A and B are shown apart, each in its own frame.
Chain A
């Protein structure tokens, strides 16, 4: 680099530094310290990498390594009352927004907090549990069917909610009630004016036993896009068609044992046929009741046993049994899933463990064959 240019750059750098120095810096000021008494920024996240194999030979991919999740979460404390959160998932081809919301604490004890942004609608214990803390490797069929791209009762969405708990007052109850666009995750705008109303309440009546209840009332439109069939869909124009879902759940935990169960039922609007006439789709009525109902339940049991076999600190065998019925009017159209599980823990604080799953998916209809999917997953939180 020519000497003249070097000198010019040095002068520019010095000038820039001069501009950055506070005006009073020349006077004697006490040393300033980084504020460590208030966690202004907290970084965290987790990574899940896995090998997956299915015994269905024509399925693709049937034998693959993949990065299941790579999350980065940043939480800030702007003031004691204002706490924004941003969480993204770094997948091989892009960065996907997960949680982006701001909490405003009306009560410093956490009784009432206003949340606005994009996060999971408060429906289902299993869905709200972080995927880094699931009892087995993945959520089950029920969460898949009630989740995004299917019935969409439980998914991330944009909205506003009031949430809180009363543990500080020694009342073991928490709640969340919200209004959401009803358009699902990562949708830029709400094409219609319809909304999804979702709420959950959870209580711990005795130590170790937690019970919860959820409700989701979603106003969906009728897809009348050019060439589209007259079916329920998000971007409707005129009609108001309510699709509802409900759930109850419970978890029992004592020492290393965890038992968790959940029952969910809801309008299977993707399997419904709308009333034939427009007049039948009366505004604000539950026209979809002429459709069908889906429901399902699961029970999971895991038991963590401390061991002294470095690098292992605990082993955790488990079993999950799940059933799903997409249409309660039709017999033997559902499936039963059995998931034996083994967790090998290397570090409890970070949740570092190897998880081994075998999901045995057995359709109830005769003639359909059982498919088994094996998963070996390594995960850690940071």
Chain B
């Protein structure tokens, strides 16, 4: 690699060493920056995160909070890269993310901030009103392909799913598909709203997403889901106009999950104050008002 001969220069070695060390030590002191709160991540949580930010900024005029979506994976990657202060995620950290964070010197802290029930939705004209978790698994893995197989009128099932950076996608895969792969003909939608639009247009469609998205939509039908108990349960109240919180807290409705905020290390300063407020009755009240499910301990549930 490096032939040996040429100009002798032990002084040069020392000089280069000195310059390098000085550069590192001198420039190291430049590090560190303060700023506003940047929040990035889960599309499922983006409506809630925007509302939290809006209200908090009104109450704290000196604070600026920037909220963007992109998916849970995007937010966590940004957190590890140091380009956001809070990552919203609708799933727990993956092993690969934990490894990357730890090796990068980022000790990620996890804060459950709300709950979410995942709705399974079909077109309003679809006669199917309930599905078991096994049937949902069968539909999304491709084992069940015709509505007739689940008590509906004959017709090829059109499966709508989310992109793989979606926490909801990952949650469904792990909890319902039991880590089996999605069927190859699933159509990938860029967000829950797009997925809901697709199901609303397609009489043979099926989709899934956070319950908050489907509270106000009459063009999608939320099906009841039968879990281990064998009883088909809806995440909505009987009139379909609000969330059945008790069914989620008691796990009677079988597809629910925590929603998380992640921070790079123990939060401090404004980020800590903001997270404390999110977990306070005021923040949890907003979660409820926006169609999410507040944490049970904070609501007395």
Which residues of A approach B to under 8 Å, CB–CB? 29-30, 32-33, 35-39, 54-59, 79-80, 108-110, 141, 144, 165-170, 172, 174, 204, 206-208, 210, 251-257, 301-303, 305-306, 315, 317-319, 321, 335-336, 338, 340-342, 348, 358-363, 368-373
Q: A369 CA to B96 CA in the complex, in Å?
A: 47
Q: Which residue of B lies closest to A361 (CB)?
A: B2
CB B57 to nearest CB in A, in angstroms, measures: 26
Bound together, the chains give a CA A363 to CA B9 distance in angstroms of: 11
B42 to chain A, nearest CB (A): 18
Residues of A within 8 A of B10 (CB): 362, 370
Closest to B164 in A: A37
In the bound complex, CA of A270 to CA of B301 (Å): 72
Q: How many residues of B contact A (CB 8 A)?
A: 57
Residues of B within 8 A of A319 (CB): 17, 20-21, 23-24
Q: In the complex, A123 Cα to B2 Cα: how many Å?
A: 24
- Contacts A32-B185, A37-B164, A37-B169 given; indicate if A254 touches B105 (C-beta within 8 A): yes
Other A-B pairs, 14, CB within 8 Å; known A169-B95, A253-B103:
A54-B6, A56-B6, A110-B96, A165-B95, A172-B102, A204-B103, A302-B24, A303-B27, A317-B24, A340-B19, A342-B23, A348-B81, A372-B7, A372-B12
Q: Which 5 A-B pairs have the closest CB atoms?
A: A208-B105, A319-B20, A168-B95, A167-B95, A207-B107
> Is B229 positioned at the interface, with any CB of A under 8 Å from its CB?
no
Contact of A35 with B4 at beta-carbon distance under 8 Å, contacts A172-B102, A254-B105, A362-B10 already known: no
Inter-chain CA distance A110–B99, complex, in Å, is: 12
B residues 21-55 near A (Cβ < 8 Å) are 21, 23-24, 27-28, 30-33
Taken together as a complex, chains A and B put the C-alpha atoms of A55 and B184 apart, in Å, by 59
Q: How many A-B residue pairs have CB under 8 A?
A: 173
**Complex Cα spacing A351 to B156, Å:** 46
7 CB-based A-B contacts, threshold 8 Å: A35-B185, A167-B99, A172-B102, A204-B103, A342-B23, A369-B5, A370-B12
**What distance in Å separates the Cβ of A74 from its nearest Cβ neighbour in chain B?**
18
Q: Tell me which residues across on chain A come within 8 A of B113, comparing CB atoms.
A: none
B181 on the A face (CB < 8 A): yes
CB-contact partner of A301 in B13, B19, B24, B30, under 8 A: B24
Residues of chain B lying within 8 A (CB to CB) of residue A170: 98
Minimum CB–CB distance for B91 against chain A, Å: 12
**B16 in contact with A109 (CB, 8 Å):** no
- Chain B residues closer than 8 Å to A210, beta-carbon distance: 102-103
Query: Which residues of chain B are within 8 angstroms of A371 by Cβ–Cβ distance?
Result: 2-6
B99 A58 Cβ-Cβ under 8 A:
no
Name B204's contact: one of A30, A144, A208, A252 (CB within 8 Å). A30
In angstroms, Cα B107 to Cα A39, docked, is 29
Q: Is B188 an interface residue (CB 8 A)?
A: yes
Kindly state whether residue B128 has any CB partner on chain A within 8 Å: no
Task: Give min CB distance, B193 to chain A, whole Å.
Answer: 18
Residue contact A30 to B30, C-beta cutoff 8 Å: no
B181 close to A79 (CB less than 8 A) = yes
**Would B7 and A55 count as touching, CB distance under 8 A?**
yes
Q: Which residues on the B side are within 8 Å of A342 (C-beta)?
A: 23
Residue of A nearest to B28 (CB): A303
Q: Is the CB of B20 within 8 A of A341?
A: yes
B94–A369 contact, CB under 8 A? Answer: no
Interchain nearest-CB distance for B104 vs A (Å):
6
When the two chains form their complex, are residues B98 and A167 in contact, meaning their CB atoms are under 8 A apart? yes
Contact A368 B4 (CB under 8 A): yes
Contacts A30-B158, A37-B161; is A370 near B7 (CB within 8 Å)? yes
Q: Known: A33-B185, A165-B95, A255-B105. Contact between A338 and B16, CB under 8 A?
A: yes
What is the bound-complex CA distance between A362 and B8, given in angstroms? 8
* Contact indicator A141/B1 (Cβ below 8 Å): yes
Q: Tell me the smallest distance from the CB of A144 to a CB of chain B, in Å.
A: 5
Distance in angstroms between the alpha carbons of A256 and B28 in the assembled complex: 8
> Interface readout for B43-84 with A: 1 if CB under 8 Å, 0 if not?
000000000000000000000000000000000000001100
B163 at the interface (CB under 8 A from A): yes
Task: Give the complex CA separation of A35 and B104 in angstroms.
Answer: 33
Complex: A36 Cα to B181 Cα, angstroms: 11
Residues of A within 8 A of B185 (CB): 32-33, 35
Contact (Cβ within 8 A) A370 B6 = yes
Task: Say yes or no: is B135 at the interface (Cβ < 8 Å to chain A).
Answer: no
Closest B-chain residue to A365, C-beta based? B4
Decide if A318 touches B24 in the complex (CB within 8 Å).
yes
Interface string of B98-123 (1 = CB under 8 A from A): 11011111110000000000000000
List chain A residues, Cβ under 8 A from B158: 30
Q: How far is the CB of A251 from chain B (nearest CB, A)?
A: 7
Knowing A36-B163, A79-B181, A253-B103 are in contact, say whether A318-B20 is a contact too (CB < 8 A): yes
Q: Mark B160-177, 1 if CB is under 8 A from A, else 0.
A: 011110000100000000
